[in-house]
Protein backbone atom coordinates (compact mmCIF):
# COMPACT_ATOMS: atom_id res chain seq x y z
CA UNK A 1 0.00 0.00 0.00
CA UNK A 2 1.19 3.52 -0.78
CA UNK A 3 -1.20 5.21 1.69
CA UNK A 4 -1.46 4.45 5.40
CA UNK A 5 -3.28 6.20 8.23
CA UNK A 6 -2.49 6.78 11.89
CA UNK A 7 -4.94 8.31 14.38
CA UNK A 8 -3.43 11.18 16.37
CA UNK A 9 -4.51 12.10 19.88
CA UNK A 10 -4.65 15.68 21.13
CA UNK A 11 -1.89 15.00 23.65
CA UNK A 12 0.67 12.33 22.81
CA UNK A 13 -0.25 12.43 19.12
CA UNK A 14 0.66 16.11 18.87
CA UNK A 15 4.03 15.46 20.51
CA UNK A 16 4.63 12.64 18.03
CA UNK A 17 3.73 15.01 15.21
CA UNK A 18 6.29 17.61 16.27
CA UNK A 19 9.02 15.05 16.88
CA UNK A 20 8.74 12.80 13.84
CA UNK A 21 6.59 14.47 11.17
CA UNK A 22 6.81 18.25 11.40
CA UNK A 23 10.58 18.34 11.85
CA UNK A 24 11.01 20.76 8.97
CA UNK A 25 14.26 22.58 9.59
CA UNK A 26 15.52 23.15 6.08
CA UNK A 27 14.55 24.34 2.62
CA UNK A 28 15.92 21.44 0.61
CA UNK A 29 14.25 20.87 -2.71
CA UNK A 30 13.16 17.43 -3.86
CA UNK A 31 15.60 17.51 -6.77
CA UNK A 32 18.84 16.85 -4.91
CA UNK A 33 21.60 14.57 -6.27
CA UNK A 34 22.37 11.55 -4.11
CA UNK A 35 25.70 12.90 -2.83
CA UNK A 36 23.97 16.02 -1.53
CA UNK A 37 20.95 13.98 -0.43
CA UNK A 38 23.04 12.28 2.24
CA UNK A 39 25.17 15.33 3.07
CA UNK A 40 22.38 17.86 3.70
CA UNK A 41 20.19 17.95 6.78
CA UNK A 42 16.58 18.91 7.29
CA UNK A 43 13.29 18.57 5.48
CA UNK A 44 11.09 21.28 3.97
CA UNK A 45 8.65 23.11 6.26
CA UNK A 46 5.03 22.00 6.15
CA UNK A 47 2.48 23.59 3.84
CA UNK A 48 -1.27 24.08 4.11
CA UNK A 49 -3.52 21.81 2.08
CA UNK A 50 -7.26 21.27 1.64
CA UNK A 51 -10.42 23.21 0.90
CA UNK A 52 -11.15 23.80 4.58
CA UNK A 53 -8.11 26.07 4.92
CA UNK A 54 -10.18 28.96 3.52
CA UNK A 55 -12.21 28.96 6.76
CA UNK A 56 -9.14 29.70 8.89
CA UNK A 57 -7.62 33.01 9.95
CA UNK A 58 -10.41 35.12 8.45
CA UNK A 59 -9.28 33.92 5.03
CA UNK A 60 -5.64 34.95 5.50
CA UNK A 61 -4.21 31.42 5.32
CA UNK A 62 -3.64 30.20 1.77
CA UNK A 63 -3.22 26.68 0.43
CA UNK A 64 0.48 26.11 -0.19
CA UNK A 65 1.67 28.66 2.37
CA UNK A 66 4.08 27.60 5.10
CA UNK A 67 2.88 26.16 8.40
CA UNK A 68 4.55 27.44 11.57
CA UNK A 69 4.97 25.41 14.75
CA UNK A 70 2.76 27.87 16.63
CA UNK A 71 -0.02 27.44 14.07
CA UNK A 72 0.30 23.68 14.31
CA UNK A 73 0.11 23.80 18.09
CA UNK A 74 -3.06 25.90 17.99
CA UNK A 75 -4.81 23.73 15.39
CA UNK A 76 -3.75 20.19 16.27
CA UNK A 77 -2.70 20.62 19.87
CA UNK A 78 -5.59 22.81 21.03
CA UNK A 79 -8.27 22.64 18.33
CA UNK A 80 -8.15 26.40 17.72
CA UNK A 81 -7.84 28.66 14.70
CA UNK A 82 -4.11 28.79 13.89
CA UNK A 83 -4.14 32.57 13.36
CA UNK A 84 -6.86 34.03 15.59
CA UNK A 85 -6.72 31.44 18.35
CA UNK A 86 -10.51 31.20 18.40
CA UNK A 87 -11.94 27.78 19.36
CA UNK A 88 -13.04 25.70 16.38
CA UNK A 89 -16.20 24.34 17.97
CA UNK A 90 -16.04 22.41 21.22
CA UNK A 91 -12.74 21.97 23.01
CA UNK A 92 -11.13 18.54 22.93
CA UNK A 93 -12.67 16.44 25.71
CA UNK A 94 -10.42 15.48 28.59
CA UNK A 95 -10.77 11.90 29.81
CA UNK A 96 -9.81 10.64 33.24
CA UNK A 97 -6.83 8.25 33.35
CA UNK A 98 -7.30 4.62 34.33
CA UNK A 99 -6.03 5.09 37.91
CA UNK A 100 -8.46 7.95 38.57
CA UNK A 101 -11.41 5.99 37.21
CA UNK A 102 -10.49 3.02 39.40
CA UNK A 103 -10.17 5.18 42.49
CA UNK A 104 -13.54 6.82 41.91
CA UNK A 105 -15.36 3.52 41.41
CA UNK A 106 -13.70 1.97 44.46
CA UNK A 107 -14.66 5.02 46.54
CA UNK A 108 -18.28 4.61 45.40
CA UNK A 109 -18.51 0.99 46.57
CA UNK A 110 -21.01 0.16 49.28
CA UNK A 111 -19.18 0.70 52.59
CA UNK A 112 -21.12 -2.20 54.09
CA UNK A 113 -19.59 -4.79 51.76
CA UNK A 114 -17.79 -7.64 53.47
CA UNK A 115 -14.05 -8.12 53.07
CA UNK A 116 -14.41 -10.90 50.49
CA UNK A 117 -17.13 -9.09 48.53
CA UNK A 118 -15.17 -5.84 48.53
CA UNK A 119 -11.99 -7.55 47.32
CA UNK A 120 -13.92 -9.23 44.50
CA UNK A 121 -15.56 -5.94 43.50
CA UNK A 122 -12.21 -4.13 43.45
CA UNK A 123 -10.64 -6.90 41.35
CA UNK A 124 -13.52 -6.64 38.87
CA UNK A 125 -13.16 -2.85 38.67
CA UNK A 126 -9.42 -3.09 38.07
CA UNK A 127 -9.88 -5.67 35.32
CA UNK A 128 -12.60 -3.64 33.57
CA UNK A 129 -10.76 -0.33 33.69
CA UNK A 130 -7.44 -1.85 32.64
CA UNK A 131 -9.12 -3.47 29.65
CA UNK A 132 -10.76 -0.17 28.69
CA UNK A 133 -7.46 1.70 28.78
CA UNK A 134 -7.03 5.46 28.66
CA UNK A 135 -9.33 7.18 26.22
CA UNK A 136 -7.85 10.12 24.32
CA UNK A 137 -9.47 12.83 22.24
CA UNK A 138 -8.75 12.54 18.51
CA UNK A 139 -6.95 15.60 17.14
CA UNK A 140 -6.39 14.40 13.60
CA UNK A 141 -5.24 11.72 11.20
CA UNK A 142 -1.74 11.26 9.81
CA UNK A 143 -1.99 9.96 6.23
CA UNK A 144 1.36 8.87 4.79
CA UNK A 145 1.59 8.97 0.98
CA UNK A 146 4.56 6.99 -0.35
CA UNK A 147 5.78 6.46 -3.88
CA UNK A 148 6.77 2.89 -4.88
CA UNK A 149 10.19 1.81 -3.57
CA UNK A 150 11.62 1.35 -7.06
CA UNK A 151 10.64 4.91 -7.97
CA UNK A 152 12.14 6.22 -4.71
CA UNK A 153 15.41 4.50 -5.60
CA UNK A 154 15.32 6.11 -9.05
CA UNK A 155 14.51 9.50 -7.54
CA UNK A 156 17.53 9.25 -5.21
CA UNK A 157 20.09 8.67 -7.98
CA UNK A 158 18.51 10.49 -10.93
CA UNK A 159 19.49 13.86 -12.35
CA UNK A 160 17.78 16.98 -11.03
CA UNK A 161 15.28 17.14 -13.89
CA UNK A 162 14.08 13.57 -13.37
CA UNK A 163 13.92 14.08 -9.62
CA UNK A 164 11.75 17.16 -10.07
CA UNK A 165 9.45 15.27 -12.46
CA UNK A 166 8.96 12.47 -9.92
CA UNK A 167 8.39 14.92 -7.06
CA UNK A 168 5.88 16.94 -9.10
CA UNK A 169 3.96 13.78 -10.01
CA UNK A 170 3.93 12.75 -6.35
CA UNK A 171 2.65 16.14 -5.17
CA UNK A 172 -0.03 16.22 -7.87
CA UNK A 173 -1.17 12.71 -6.88
CA UNK A 174 -1.38 13.70 -3.21
CA UNK A 175 -3.46 16.77 -4.10
CA UNK A 176 -5.77 14.65 -6.27
CA UNK A 177 -6.35 12.11 -3.50
CA UNK A 178 -7.02 14.81 -0.89
CA UNK A 179 -9.55 16.39 -3.27
CA UNK A 180 -11.20 12.97 -3.70
CA UNK A 181 -11.35 12.57 0.08
CA UNK A 182 -13.12 15.91 0.34
CA UNK A 183 -15.68 14.98 -2.31
CA UNK A 184 -16.36 11.36 -1.44
CA UNK A 185 -15.14 10.51 2.07
CA UNK A 186 -15.07 13.47 4.46
CA UNK A 187 -18.21 14.01 6.54
CA UNK A 188 -19.29 14.71 10.08
CA UNK A 189 -22.11 13.30 12.18
CA UNK A 190 -24.97 14.98 13.99
CA UNK A 191 -27.96 13.99 16.10
CA UNK A 192 -28.26 11.73 19.10
CA UNK A 193 -29.03 8.04 19.30
CA UNK A 194 -28.11 5.03 21.44
CA UNK A 195 -24.85 3.34 20.52
CA UNK A 196 -22.50 5.58 18.56
CA UNK A 197 -24.45 8.71 19.49
CA UNK A 198 -25.17 10.09 16.01
CA UNK A 199 -27.89 9.55 13.45
CA UNK A 200 -26.94 11.49 10.30
CA UNK A 201 -23.88 12.21 8.18
CA UNK A 202 -23.43 15.83 7.10
CA UNK A 203 -21.25 17.21 4.29
CA UNK A 204 -18.32 19.46 5.20
CA UNK A 205 -16.74 22.42 3.40
CA UNK A 206 -13.40 20.66 3.05
CA UNK A 207 -10.44 19.25 4.93
CA UNK A 208 -7.88 21.24 6.89
CA UNK A 209 -4.53 19.56 6.37
CA UNK A 210 -0.81 20.19 6.57
CA UNK A 211 1.66 18.36 4.32
CA UNK A 212 5.26 17.45 5.18
CA UNK A 213 7.70 15.98 2.66
CA UNK A 214 10.21 13.44 3.95
CA UNK A 215 13.16 11.96 2.08
CA UNK A 216 14.00 8.68 3.75
CA UNK A 217 12.66 5.77 5.74
CA UNK A 218 13.33 5.16 9.42
CA UNK A 219 16.12 2.85 8.28
CA UNK A 220 17.75 5.75 6.45
CA UNK A 221 17.05 4.46 2.94
CA UNK A 222 15.90 6.86 0.19
CA UNK A 223 12.12 6.96 0.45
CA UNK A 224 10.21 9.96 -0.85
CA UNK A 225 6.92 10.27 1.03
CA UNK A 226 4.58 12.94 2.35
CA UNK A 227 2.75 13.06 5.67
CA UNK A 228 -0.64 14.72 5.26
CA UNK A 229 -1.95 15.57 8.72
CA UNK A 230 -5.72 16.03 8.52
CA UNK A 231 -7.28 18.01 11.36
CA UNK A 232 -10.26 16.49 13.12
CA UNK A 233 -11.95 19.90 12.92
CA UNK A 234 -14.34 20.44 9.99
CA UNK A 235 -17.02 22.98 9.14
CA UNK A 236 -20.45 21.83 8.01
CA UNK A 237 -22.01 22.92 4.73
CA UNK A 238 -25.46 22.91 6.33
CA UNK A 239 -25.02 25.47 9.11
CA UNK A 240 -21.33 26.45 9.15
CA UNK A 241 -20.76 24.95 12.59
CA UNK A 242 -17.46 23.38 13.57
CA UNK A 243 -17.67 19.68 14.29
CA UNK A 244 -15.45 16.58 14.29
CA UNK A 245 -14.71 14.38 11.30
CA UNK A 246 -16.49 11.05 11.15
CA UNK A 247 -13.52 8.69 11.38
CA UNK A 248 -15.33 5.58 10.17
CA UNK A 249 -15.29 6.47 6.44
CA UNK A 250 -11.60 7.43 6.73
CA UNK A 251 -10.69 4.02 8.12
CA UNK A 252 -12.83 2.25 5.56
CA UNK A 253 -11.41 4.16 2.59
CA UNK A 254 -7.69 3.74 3.27
CA UNK A 255 -7.18 0.81 0.88
CA UNK A 256 -9.14 2.55 -1.88
CA UNK A 257 -7.17 5.76 -1.32
CA UNK A 258 -3.93 3.81 -1.66
CA UNK A 259 -5.03 2.29 -4.97
CA UNK A 260 -6.16 5.69 -6.22
CA UNK A 261 -2.85 7.28 -5.24
CA UNK A 262 -0.86 4.63 -7.12
CA UNK A 263 -3.00 5.11 -10.23
CA UNK A 264 -2.94 8.91 -10.34
CA UNK A 265 0.79 9.01 -9.52
CA UNK A 266 1.42 6.74 -12.51
CA UNK A 267 -0.84 8.92 -14.67
CA UNK A 268 0.96 12.13 -13.71
CA UNK A 269 4.34 10.49 -14.28
CA UNK A 270 3.28 9.25 -17.72
CA UNK A 271 1.89 12.66 -18.66
CA UNK A 272 5.14 14.33 -17.62
CA UNK A 273 7.24 11.91 -19.69
CA UNK A 274 5.01 12.40 -22.73
CA UNK A 275 5.38 16.14 -22.33
CA UNK A 276 9.15 15.78 -22.53
CA UNK A 277 9.06 13.86 -25.81
What distance separates the 2 farthest-apart alpha carbons in the chain?
A: 87
Q: Is the pLDDT of residue 12 over 90?
A: no
Does 177 map to a domain? yes
Residue 194 lies in a domain: yes
pLDDT in tens, 59-105: 899 999 998 888 888 898 889 999 999 999 998 888 888 999 999 99
Indicate whether 144 and 118 sit together in one domain: no
63 and 153 in a single domain? The answer is yes
Helix locations, the chain, DSSP H: 12-16, 34-39, 69-72, 98-107, 115-132, 149-157, 160-184, 247-276
Residue 225 lies in a domain: yes
Shared domain for 128 and 150, answered yes or no, is no
Same domain assignment for residues 72 and 29? yes
Q: What is the pLDDT of residue 17?
A: 67
pLDDT of res. 61: 92
Q: What are phi and psi of 89, to 5 degrees?
A: 80, -150
* Same domain flag for 177 and 266: yes
Q: In 3-state terms, the chain is what percent helix, strand and coil (to 5)?
A: 45, 20, 35
Q: Check whether residue 122 and residue 147 sit in a common domain.
A: no
Tell whether the model's pLDDT for residue 41 goes beyond 70: no
The pLDDT of residue 30: 47
* Number of neighbours of residue 20 by Cβ within 10 angstroms: 13
> So what's the pLDDT on residue 13?
65
- Residues of the chain with pLDDT > 70, as a percent, come to 81
- Going by pLDDT thresholds of 50, 70 and 90, the confidence category of residue 201 is confident
In a shared domain, residues 155 and 252: yes
Instruction: Note whether 214 and 123 are same-domain residues.
Output: no
Domain with 109 in it = 101-132
Report the mean per-residue pLDDT for the chain: 83
DSSP string over 162-212? HHHHHHHHHHHHHHHHHHHHHHHT--EEES--TTTS--EEE-BS---EEEE
The domain total for the chain is 2
- Phi-psi sector, 195: left (phi>0), alpha (psi -120 to 50), beta: left
In a domain, 50, yes or no: yes
Question: Is 113 found in the same domain as 60?
Answer: no
Torsion of CA 111, 117, 123, 129, to 10 degrees: -50
- Dihedral in degrees, nearest 10, Cα atoms 154, 160, 164, 170: 20
Domain co-membership, 200 together with 81: yes
pTM of the model: 0.80
Give the Cα separation of 143 and 178 in Å (integer). 10
If asked whether residues 114 and 190 sit together in one domain, one would say no
Is the domain of 37 the same as that of 73? yes
Predicted local confidence at residue 32, as pLDDT = 45
Residue 96 forms part of a structural domain: no
3-state secondary structure of 260: helix
What does the pLDDT look like over 204-247, one tens digit per residue?
Answer: 999 999 999 888 766 666 788 899 999 999 999 988 999 999 99
Answer whether residue 163 shows pLDDT above 60.
Answer: yes
Amino acid sequence: MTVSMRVMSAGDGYKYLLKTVAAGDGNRTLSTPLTRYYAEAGTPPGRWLGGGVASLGDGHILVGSQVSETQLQLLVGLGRDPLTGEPLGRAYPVYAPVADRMAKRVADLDPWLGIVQRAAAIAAIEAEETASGTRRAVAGFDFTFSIPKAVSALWAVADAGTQATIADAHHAAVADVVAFMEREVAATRAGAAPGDGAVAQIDVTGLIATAYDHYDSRAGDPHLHTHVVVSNKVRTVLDGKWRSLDSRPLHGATVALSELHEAVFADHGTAARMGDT
